[in-house]
Every structure is written in C-alpha cells, then in structure tokens.
C-alpha cells in the first residue's frame, strides 16, 4: 500500500489506501451529448428502448444503457420511481453481459474464483457472489447462475471480468471453456411482477424460489427466468437466448404484458437500489475496495476450506476486524441527508466533512431522494476512526444495523443545498434504508431468519 498520500485537490480526504485516488474534482453535470459510436456496443434491445422513449443513456460494460424514459413534463424520475414501487417496470439490462463457464471442471473453477462456496449452488439455482483479486479487492459482483451441472453464467457488473477469468485458465489447470454468450436479460421489477410473469410463462413461476431458475418459452423463444433483480422490489430476470436474433420476439410480448398490468419501460432505478443498500460497481466499490469496507463481509465465509483467489488476504483482514481493529482508512456507511430532493443521477463524488472542524474527510458515492422516507439517502466513505470512536460495535457488517450516533456534513451542489455554499446535515443510518422484498443473506442473518439466501 502507498504511504500517507493525500488527495491533491482535497487533501483532507485520506486516500492512502488507494493506488489511484478517487477523482474528487467537482466537475458538475456538463452540458454535452453522449456520442453514439460503433466502438460502444448496442444491446439487442437498444433500438426497442429508444422506440419506447429512452432519451438519456450512459455507458456500462462497453454498452449503451438506458437511464431515462419518461419526459420531465410527464413526471420524469418521480413517475419512473412510482412505476417501479407501485406497479411494474420493464428494464433493458443487457449490459449485464453473460460470461459462461462450461466444462468438466466448471464447479472447481468457479469455486476458485469466487469467495463463496460454489459447491453449495445447486443446478437451476443461483447466488449473488463476488470475485476478488489476491489483495482482496473486488473485481466484480454479479448474479451467478447454474443452469446445468457443468455450466455457470456470470451475469456481470461493470468490468471486464471475461478477460480476468480467461487469464485464470492460462495454465490449463482447469478443463473449462470461458466465453461471452449471446444471452441478454431484461428485468421485470415491481409488486405486480409476479402477475406479469404468470401471464407470460404460466403458474410454474409461482414455485420458483428467490434465486431459483426456470426454463420457459416467451414468444416462441426459449428463455431462462430467474427470481432476481436490482431494485429491492419483487422481481424477475428473463435471459433471452440467441438474443441478437430473438430480441423483438421476446421484448414485444413482455412489454405488452407489462403495460396490461399498469407498467411500462423504465430505466434501472438508482434511488430504489440505494434505499435497498444495493451496491453499484464503479461507484460504491471497485478493485481497490475490500468486501469488509462495503457491507459485503458476509461474502467471505469462515468455513470455506478450498483455496480461492484472495483467501489469505481476506482472512487476514477479517482477523484484524475480529480483534477490534480495521485495516482501512474509510468505511462505507449509509447517510440520511438534508437538502432539496436529489432526483437526478449524481455526476460527482460529493464531499463529506467533519461538522466539528469543517475539514473534508470523505465522499458520497451514491445519493438520491426517497419519497417513502421523506429524505435524501446515500452511501459514502467516512473515516473509520470516527466510527470507532463513536461505537463499541466492530466495523464489520453488523455496523450497518447498529445505532451509531455520528453526524457529518455533505457538500451538495447549489441546486440541492439548503444554504448555498454550506454543507447539509447528514446522520449515519441503518442499511438498508428501506427493507427489500427479498433480503440478502446478511439481512436474513440480522433478522435471525432462515431460508434460501442470495
């Protein structure tokens, strides 16, 4: 690790844990157009999303990703939020590129590259999982599906995991094939999603458990259905096989059924995923972030005997934390904040300061207005020493459900600030801010519940 290296623009924020510091320059939302080029891929659903009114996009996994459908005069982000939490939304999430690992050693290979125990994933089931490098940094987090005994699909977040997975196979220790396949998912999310899916594939979907899989047919096309999602609401994903050819044949009847149930096409809802405590790779985590910093400590098991990439370092970090220490300068926490409602996608890492000294000490990674709670909520990195001084709770995953009496200031842009130029008050809050319909394994443990976990 580098020495005590302060950020050149905001030296109060200690980023000595990082080789490449987060860029904390406040650049604002520049008035520029996103160039549509051949270098960036279009998903099989891209033109269909545009037909449905997509008027804003970002780039995710080298693909265009819809980020706004409903025009501001028709309700904009608020209407898209209501569509999700009150009805049902169809999301184009083909950016979750599918990396298939197949072969006689598929289970052993997957068990080596993920921190969780892959041998516990039954055929036609899945789990949320992560890959780490040898230093314990998170390379990717994903839905990991097992459609066959000798086959796994990594439904990946925003990084080139294919290249790394192929790199692991170069010594031919594992007899597997690793490649991207022509499978693209859409998500059906919201309280009416079970009704939509039953209309599309029949009553069999009622018996699919959380993270369970179902082979089905939509529009004459074979698809794989999973009971998963990125919203905190009830939801499913439909993985379209040979999607380049079959996109319209599936999208059109799915959209028609969604609309029949009062829903429509919409973007992935960032504000709802923040409220659910769902992390976004590249925003909240990256390869220089440890699971123990970001509420993913439960992804590092105590009882996995098999070797896996990063095991030695992650077990070292866990031991430090169990002994009352914390081997990092910052910890990600949930924050409830003042200010005007944040309805747009934040374009910057907004700075966090110590209200007693006014010194900059951290930064916000995700933020948005939650109408159910009537407040802005966010995820941000704050000094671990400040948290340790305020509580006897270890800085493991349990801190996210502990009462920690700590306040910070968050420096919001002028359009959201209560007093121009002054930070808004922010308090450390329990995560998730709003319970998920399908709680994660960590949430289940916190609730002392049992059952199938993600």
pLDDT at 7: 62
* 359 CB-near residues (< 8 Å, 6+ apart): 12, 353
Measured distance CA(117)–CA(107) in Å, rounded: 10
Burial code (b: 16+ CB inside 10 Å, e: under 16) for 123-136 equals ebbbbbbbbbeeeb
Tell me the average pLDDT across 53-65: 96
Residue 72 has pLDDT above 50, yes or no: yes
Tell me the average pLDDT across 304-324: 97
Judge whether 98 and 153 are in contact, CB under 8 Å.
yes
Answer yes or no: pTM beyond 0.85. Answer: yes
Given pLDDT bands bounded at 50, 70 and 90, which one contains residue 78?
very high
**Is position 231 within any domain?**
yes
**Is position 268 within any domain?**
no
**Is position 254 within any domain?**
yes
Judge whether 159 and 103 are in contact, CB under 8 Å.
no
Q: Which domain holds residue 213?
A: 183-262
Measured distance CA(67)–CA(49) in Å, rounded: 10
Residue 449 has pLDDT above 60, yes or no: no
User: Which among 205, 200, 204, 215 has a CA at the least distance from the CA of 252?
Assistant: 200
**Is position 432 within any domain?**
no
Measured distance CA(207)–CA(198) in Å, rounded: 11
> What CATH number did the domain enclosing 217 receive?
3.30.1360.120
Measured distance CA(158)–CA(22) in Å, rounded: 17
**Is position 126 within any domain?**
no
Bridge partners (DSSP) of residue 131 are: 114, 140
Tell me the average pLDDT across 264-293: 97
Burial code (b: 16+ CB inside 10 Å, e: under 16) for 230-242 equals bbbbbbbbbbbbe
Q: What would the pLDDT profile of 182-194 be if each residue is shown by its tens digit?
A: 999 999 999 999 9
Tell me the average pLDDT across 400-419: 93
**Is position 229 within any domain?**
yes
Tell me the average pLDDT across 268-295: 97
Rounded to 5 degrees, φ, ψ at 250 are -95, -45
Given pLDDT bands bounded at 50, 70 and 90, which one contains residue 143?
very high
Q: What would the pLDDT profile of 420-448 be if each residue is shown by its tens digit?
A: 999 999 999 999 998 888 765 555 555 43
Average per-residue pLDDT for the chain: 93
Domain count, the chain: 1
Judge whether 57 and 66 are in contact, CB under 8 Å.
yes
Residue 62 has pLDDT above 90, yes or no: yes
User: Which among 276, 271, 187, 191 has a CA at the least distance from the CA of 232?
Assistant: 276
**Is position 123 within any domain?**
no
Residue 454 has pLDDT above 80, yes or no: no
**Is position 442 within any domain?**
no
């Amino acid at each position: 690790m580098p020495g005590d290296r302060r950020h050149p623009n905001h030296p109060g924020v200690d980023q000595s844990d990082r080789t490449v510091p987060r860029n904390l320059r406040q650049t604002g939302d520049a008035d520029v157009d996103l160039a549509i080029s051949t270098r960036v891929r279009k998903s099989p659903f891209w033109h269909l999303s545009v037909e449905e009114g997509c008027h804003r996009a970002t780039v995710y996994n080298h693909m265009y990703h819809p980020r706004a459908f409903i025009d501001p005069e028709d309700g904009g982000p608020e209407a898209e939020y209501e569509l999700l939490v009150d009805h049902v939304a169809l999301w184009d999430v083909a950016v979750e590129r599918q990396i298939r690992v197949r072969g006689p050693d598929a289970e052993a290979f997957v068990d080596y590259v993920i921190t969780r125990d892959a041998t516990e994933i039954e055929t036609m089931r899945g789990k949320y999982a992560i890959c780490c490098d040898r230093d314990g940094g998170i390379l990717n987090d994903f839905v990991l599906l097992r459609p066959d005994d000798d086959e796994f699909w990594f439904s990946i977040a925003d990084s080139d995991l294919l290249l790394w997975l192929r790199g692991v196979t170069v010594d031919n220790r594992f007899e597997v094939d690793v490649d991207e396949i022509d499978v693209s998912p859409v998500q059906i999310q919201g309280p009416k999603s079970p009704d939509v899916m039953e209309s599309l594939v029949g009553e069999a979907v009622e018996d699919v458990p959380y993270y369970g899989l179902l082979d089905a047919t939509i529009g004459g096309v074979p698809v794989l259905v999973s009971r998963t999602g990125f919203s905190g609401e009830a939801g499913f994903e439909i993985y379209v096989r040979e999607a380049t050819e079959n996109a319209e044949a599936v999208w059109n009847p799915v959209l028609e059924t969604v609309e029949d149930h009062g829903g429509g096409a919409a973007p992935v809802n960032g504000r709802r995923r923040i409220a659910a405590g769902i992390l976004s790779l590249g925003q909240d985590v990256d390869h220089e972030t440890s699971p123990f910093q970001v509420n993913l400590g439960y992804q590092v098991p105590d009882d996995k005997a098999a070797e896996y990439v990063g095991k030695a370092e992650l077990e070292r970090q866990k031991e430090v934390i169990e002994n009352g220490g914390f081997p990092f300068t910052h910890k990600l926490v949930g924050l409830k904040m003042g200010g005007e409602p944040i309805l747009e996608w934040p374009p910057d890492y907004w700075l966090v300061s110590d209200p007693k000294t006014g010194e900059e000490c951290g930064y916000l990674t995700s933020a948005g207005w939650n109408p159910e709670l009537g407040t802005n909520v966010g995820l941000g990195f704050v000094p671990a020493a400040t948290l340790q001084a305020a509580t006897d709770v270890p800085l493991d995953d349990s801190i996210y459900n502990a009462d920690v009496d700590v306040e910070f200031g968050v420096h919001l842009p002028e359009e959201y600030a209560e007093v121009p130029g002054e930070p808004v008050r922010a308090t450390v809050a329990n995560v998730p801010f709003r319970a998920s319909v399908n709680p994660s394994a960590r949430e289940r443990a916190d609730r002392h519940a049992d059952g199938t976990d993600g």
